[in-house]
Amino acid sequence: MSALRKISVQREDFDVGQETRALASGDANIGAVVAFVGLCRDEGGRLAALEIEHFPDMAEAEIAGVADEALRRWPLAGLTVIHRTGVIKAGEQIVLAATASSHRQAAFEAAEMLMDFLKTRAPFWKRAIRADGVAEDWVEAKRADDDAAARWKA
């Protein structure tokens, strides 16, 4: 049986429970499902929302490449990556990286690698919309994100 691979870039919210059930259904050999959900912070009340934009074909292709790399590196039964775009209010979900495997270590490592690479390789741009309604400049890449992703290149 080949691994399940779901990738979606969408404006709509997602149901984590539904996504993890779908990832694990039909394979009694799955012993672990790891789901990372990234949320929009309010930065201590300063932030009302994030605006997230992307290049559609480019973003999906890059996420697919990262997903394929995870499937090659770990014995996964499947993975799901969902990334939202548009205006996402504080407290709302932005991204889901979920992995399923027979063992937890592979599921944890693969989910972590997916997120590290999504932060550095997928062409998404974000900017804060402050509580007073002012949109800030687009956020620059962070060295800490590059450093986190670099450890997976070994």
- The per-residue pLDDT for range 88-139, each reduced to its tens digit, is 999 999 999 999 999 999 999 999 999 998 888 888 999 999 999 999 988 7
- The per-residue pLDDT for range 11-46, each reduced to its tens digit, is 999 999 999 999 999 899 999 999 999 999 999 999
Q: What pLDDT does 102 receive?
A: 96
CA dist., res. 80 & res. 88, Å (int): 20
CA dist., res. 73 & res. 6, Å (int): 17
Contact between 48 and 89 (Cβ < 8 Å): yes
Say which CATH class 4-153 falls into. alpha beta
pTM: predicted TM-score of the whole model, two decimal places: 0.91
Tokens of 127: 């900017």
CA dist., res. 43 & res. 112, Å (int): 23
CA dist., res. 136 & res. 128, Å (int): 5
- How confident is the model over 134-145, as a mean pLDDT? 80
Q: What is the domain partition of the chain in residue ranges?
A: 4-153
- CB-hemisphere CA count at 13 Å for 92? 19
Q: What pLDDT does 78 receive?
A: 96
Q: What pLDDT does 1 receive?
A: 52
CA dist., res. 8 & res. 95, Å (int): 10
CA dist., res. 135 & res. 92, Å (int): 18
Q: What are residue 86's DSSP bridge partners?
A: 52
Q: Would you say the C-alpha torsion 6, 70, 15, 129 has a positive or negative sign?
A: negative
